[in-house]
Amino acid sequence: MMRTRPLKVALLGCGVVGSEVARIMTTHADDLAARIGAPVELAGVAVRRPSKVRAGIDPALVTTDATALVKRGDIDVVVEVIGGIEPARSLITTALEHGASVVSANKALLAQDGAALHAAAEEHGRDLYYEAAVAGAIPLIRPLRESLAGDKVNRVLGIVNGTTNFILDKMDSTGAGYQEALDEATALGYAEADPTADVEGFDAAAKAAILAGIAFHTRVRLDDVHREGMTEVTAADFRSAREMGCTIKLLAICERAKDGASVTARVHPAMIPLSHPLASVRGAYNAVFVESDAAGQLMFYGPGAGGAPTASAVLGDLVAVCRNRLGGATGPGESAYAALPVSPMGDVVTRYHISLDVADKPGVLAQVATVFAGHGVSIDTVRQQGKDGEASLVVVTHRASDASLTGTVEALRKLDTVRGVASIMRVEGE
Q: Kindly tell me if the per-residue pLDDT of 362 is higher than 90.
A: no
Which pLDDT value is given to residue 46?
97
Q: With H, G, I as helix, E, B as strand and everything else as coil, classify residue 74.
A: coil
Which pLDDT value is given to residue 388?
64
Distance CA 366, CA 364 (A): 5
pTM of the model: 0.94
9-52: pLDDT as tens digits: 999 999 999 999 999 999 999 999 999 999 999 999 999 988 88
Average pLDDT over residues 149-155: 97
Q: Give which of 140, 160, 129 is closest to 315, Cα–Cα.
A: 129
Average pLDDT over residues 395-424: 94
Cα 135 to Cα 67, 100, 159, 207, distances in angstroms:
29, 25, 9, 8
Average pLDDT, the chain: 94
* Confidence band for 55, pLDDT divided at 50, 70 and 90: confident
360 or 126, higher pLDDT: 126
Active site residue 207: yes
Q: Kindly tell me if the per-residue pLDDT of 390 is higher than 80.
A: no
What is the rounded end-to-end Cα distance, in angstroms, of the chain?
53
Strands (E), 23-130: 40-46, 62-63, 77-80, 101-104, 128-129
Cβ pair 357, 418 in contact under 8 A: yes
| Catalytic entry in 107, 170, 207, 249 | 207
Q: Kindly tell me if the per-residue pLDDT of 387 is higher than 70.
A: no
